[in-house]
Amino acid sequence: MQKLLLFVDKVSTWVGHAFSFCIVGLTLLVSWEVFSRYALDAPHAWVFDVMIMLYGTLFMMAGAYTLAKNGHVRGDVLYGFFTPRVQATIDLTLYIVFFLPGVIALTWAGYTYAAESWAIREGSNITAGGPPYYPFKTIIPVAGAFVLVQGVVEIIRCAICLRQGEWPSREVDVQEVDVEELKKMVHVKDEDIAKLDQFVVRQEPGK
């Protein structure tokens, strides 16, 4: 079971990493459009639509990745003080009452929107002759499906935690640097840093 959970984590991570390059495309597109508009006096109306679609794609396809990394916003003021079993009980209740109905509705509605968009070959309603919308709307049910699968994995993790009393491991990814943990890893103490600071100050000219 744990191997299956970690496999889904890896898939969500890979999808998140793959679509993260949308930000690179978005950055290049905005930079090029600014140069074209102000330096060449040749703006392009369709760029606005493409920027929305790139950012929307990035935002939606990062949902499963963020859930896999336990990175969605949570009120941790009290949650962090609870035991793992209490945390799992809260999470499981919220997943069943709110998450599953919401994501299923999102996926189903997204499928309907995408199907209608493909049927009429929907184009931009912001700019004349803008890009088609139906490929972009297809992202909605696809992203919803990934989030739903990852959500089922998180529900299983809650059940495992309720049974074992501790959270099962999850796929590790790049995390924000924990300074205190870094100190422990390199065996550096606060006194050593203070001594180094004093040494640097003494070496400065005029000190």
Domain co-membership, 109 together with 120: yes
Q: Six-digit token pair at 135?
A: 């490929």
Cα–Cα distance, 65 to 147 (Å, whole number): 8
Domain co-membership, 24 together with 92: yes
Domains in the chain, number: 2
Domain co-membership, 131 together with 200: no
Residue 174 has pLDDT above 70, yes or no: no
Neighbours of 180 (CB within 10 A): 8
Domain co-membership, 31 together with 100: yes
Domain co-membership, 161 together with 183: no
**How confident is the model over 51-101, as pLDDT tens digits?**
999 999 999 999 999 999 888 877 777 887 889 999 999 999 999 999 999
Confirm whether pTM is higher than 0.75.
yes
Cα–Cα distance, 15 to 7 (Å, whole number): 12
Q: Within 13 Å, how many C-alpha atoms sit on residue 165's CB side? A: 0
Q: What pLDDT band is residue 182 in, cutting at 50, 70 and 90?
A: low
**Is the four-CA dihedral 125, 128, 130, 132 of positive or negative sign?**
positive
Cα–Cα distance, 199 to 207 (Å, whole number): 11
pLDDT, the chain, mean: 86
**Is the four-CA dihedral 17, 67, 163, 172 of positive or negative sign?**
positive
Domain co-membership, 181 together with 105: no
Domain co-membership, 44 together with 112: yes
pLDDT at 141: 96
Domain co-membership, 30 together with 105: yes
Residue 3 has pLDDT above 60, yes or no: yes
Q: Which residues, 6 or more positions from 189, have their beta carbon under 8 angstroms from its beta carbon?
A: 183
Q: What dihedral do alpha carbons 136, 73, 103, 52 form, nearest 10°? A: -10
Cβ–Cβ < 8 Å for 67, 154: yes
Structural domain containing residue 152: 2-175
